[in-house]
Chain A
Amino acid sequence: MKLICIAHRGEAQAFIKNLTVVDKNFYIGDDYHLLITGEGILNVLTKLPYYIAKYEIDFIINFGIAGSLSDKLHLDEIVEIRTNYGIDNESILYQSYTSEINEGKFDIISTNSRVLNDEYAKKCRAFAHIVDREAWAIAKIANEYKLQYSIYKMISDLAGSETNCFDLKNKAQYFSESLYDFYLKQNQLDDNQIDLMEEIPLPFHASFTQRKKIESLIEKLKHKKIESIETILKDQKLSVKQKPQFIISYLENLINPINTKIHEQLKMTFLPLEKSGAIVQYDSKLDKKHFSLKMDINSQTNLDKLKQSLSEFSFESFENIMNGKLDV
């Protein structure tokens, strides 16, 4: 469900007309729910998480008015926000947030007190084009809860000594109706939600891990034309259990045939040891230059076979492969 967040009741009035009251701050509807957060970062941080959790919100939109720090912006213009910065008293907050789905060109900085003097406005101007009191907190919470969000601000004044809070309060209805009209026109926002990736259908049973591996490999190969899994498996005489591993090896080889070659050459190198009955284990990631042997010894014959194969084995042959000397 979509949640619209607005700081002040005055700015929310056009949005809540057809909604049902739940409490003094929260309204529900078919298309969206609405939360009046109150002014300031702290109010947002204390209220928003509760309603997100309780009402299974999956998308947040913030509407509100904001002061301009840039002469590129005009009064009454409504802009989408690109990056959200924050400032806490004198200190700029390091972490910024940028919505993945935004098409904004303007950045905003949220302050913990109103920008009523030009000195403060100048400080904020170094970082952003617009100043408000809530956007950074909303973006932070959306980021924490991994929710998509969009932030839209209507330019109400020039931030600094010319800000007239009383005048802004009187114009609340005008701001609210303008923002609501804008929302109605922007109602394609529902289409901006990211669909969950559908599971790739596999023509065989695979464990969860195998499935995830196959999906990850297919994702990596998205730039290449690859055959369908059915085509890859065609003419392969494989048991049910062998199919997923075959596909994984096939796809891995497409991504990195050199790694496949390395594994093949290591297998050939260790073959005499394995023929003697030993199990050879080497770093499957191919990042460590060592291997180990494991063998059940239950007769002198085993031991003799192992001794024979070890005497014929050269560590150099293993080392050469790990040093990239391959027959490619």
Chain B
Amino acid sequence: MFKKVFIEESEINNIYAKHILSKIKFEEIIEIDRYEDIWGKVKKPYLQKRENLNLFIAKKKGQLVKEAPSAYGHGSEKHFYYIHAYNCIYECQYCYLQGYFSTPDLVYFTNHEEILDEIKNLSKIPENKGAWFHAGEYSDSLSLSHITNELPLYFDFFRKNPGINLELRTKSVNTTLLLNETPTDNIFISFTLSSEKSGKNFDLKCPSVKARLNAIDKLVKHGYKIGIHFDPIIYQDNFIEQYKEVIKMLSNILPDKHLGYISLGVVRYTKDVYREVEKNYPDSTIVSQDYIKSFDGKVRYNLAMRMWLLNSVKSLCLNSGYSDSKIYLCMEEN
């Protein structure tokens, strides 16, 4: 699976590092002082993740938990994201990680206790009452969780801290660890979904949309609260019919009472990311969309088109019985 594994010398005896190494295949292991000495030091072509992917096992230094931008999550509470990893094994053509990091090599951080200490400290601040802590900002939160093995620790923490919320954002169907845990009201598993056609065209190396729906079904039956991210929404022929179909399938397995929220977001890129998308996927329909360069420099659909897409999907959700109060627009100022 990995060509090289680079491990910080200080983490060699870390229990999470040992677990990772016991579960993965690699060609070579190299001890290093700091992952930053090598990772991200050079511009490594993004598509080399297909055949030349390296893994770094390291301790995250500096800020471990960051405040999220506005419109990141549902509700009026504060939203934060914690950093457990960099980069992802999936290959979604629209992914902003293409232009965000200079390398596709994965980093898994092992100092989870310190991350939780930081979350604990933040939760004590009065204005952070009811705050949300999200995983999945720089990586998928579940795809390799059976290898990284940190989830039981986080579940235990949030079980003991019911006043704050945990969201695990994912496209994965890796539910084994989740099905071994007891759900609570403050832990949400949220899935990124799209129409089946979109998923097939753009979510490379990801579980199919149908497979994700099956995973949702299992978790709902187990008692989990589920979040749904229809994000990014990308226009395709027969758009309404396709989204109608996936939302119908969703409503058959996820009743409103088990739904935490649905977020809707239209595809958007910074100019750096879009440059990478064009370079990496020149033959994909994702680069033959009718984008404009918006007033804030972002590449996306024009305002009217964005609003039509969002309103269309929202209407379909409402018509399927989901509450208006649970649907929000993600990263959309209007």
Q: Does A222 contact B (CB under 8 A)?
A: yes
Number of residues on chain A facing chain B (CB within 8 A): 37
Q: Report if A256-B292 is in contact (Cβ < 8 Å); known contacts: A321-B304, A324-B306.
A: no
Interface contact B307-A322, CB-CB below 8 Å? yes
Q: Do residues B305 and A259 form an inter-chain contact, with CB atoms below 8 A?
A: yes
Contacts of B307 in A (CB 8 A): 322-325
B6, B285, B303: which contacts A288 (Cβ < 8 A)? Answer: B303
| Contact of B304 with A255 in the complex, beta carbons under 8 Å | no
Is B319 an interface residue, CB under 8 A from the partner?
A: no
Within 8 A of A (CB), among B290-317: 290, 292, 294-295, 302-312
Q: Is the CB of B312 within 8 A of A324?
A: yes
What would 20 more interface pairs be, CB under 8 Å, given A85-B42, A255-B288, A289-B303? A92-B41, A94-B42, A95-B42, A96-B43, A105-B51, A126-B32, A126-B38, A127-B38, A127-B41, A256-B290, A262-B305, A285-B292, A286-B302, A286-B304, A288-B295, A321-B304, A322-B303, A322-B304, A324-B307, A325-B307
Among A92, A222, A326, point to the contact of B288 (Cβ < 8 A): A222
Q: If A93-B42, A94-B43 touch, does A258 touch B235 (CB 8 Å cutoff)?
A: yes
Pairs across A and B, CB under 8 Å, 8 listed: A96-B44, A219-B288, A255-B289, A258-B308, A287-B294, A287-B304, A322-B304, A322-B307
Interface centre among B30, B304, B307, B334 (most CB of A within 10 A): B304
The residues of A with any CB-CB pair to B shorter than 8 Å are 82-83, 85, 92-96, 98, 105, 107, 125-127, 219-223, 252, 255-256, 258-259, 262, 285-289, 321-326, 328
In whole angstroms, how far apart are the Cα atoms of A219 and B287 in the complex? 10
Q: Check: B48 CB closer than 8 A to any chain A CB.
A: yes
**Contact partners of A256 in chain B: CB under 8 A:** 235, 289-290, 305
**Shortest Cβ-Cβ A-B pairs, 8 listed:** A324-B307, A324-B308, A220-B288, A256-B290, A286-B302, A286-B304, A287-B302, A324-B311
Chain A residues near B292: list those with CB within 8 A. Answer: 285, 287
Interface residue SS majority, chain A: mixed
Q: How far is the CA of A47 from the CA of B312 in the complex (A)?
A: 60
* B288 lies within 8 A of A285 (CB): no
Verify if B175 is at the interface (C-beta below 8 Å from A): no
The answer on a CB contact under 8 Å between B42 and A127 is: yes
> What residues of chain A lie closer than 8 Å to B6, measured between beta carbons?
126
Taking A83-B45, A287-B303, A288-B295 as contacts, is the C-beta distance between A259 and B290 under 8 angstroms?
yes
B102 at the binding interface (Cβ < 8 Å): yes
Which residues 234-283 in B have Cβ within 8 Å of A in the complex? Answer: 235, 240, 283
Q: A83-B48, A286-B303, A289-B303 are in contact. Are A326 and B308 (CB under 8 A)?
A: yes
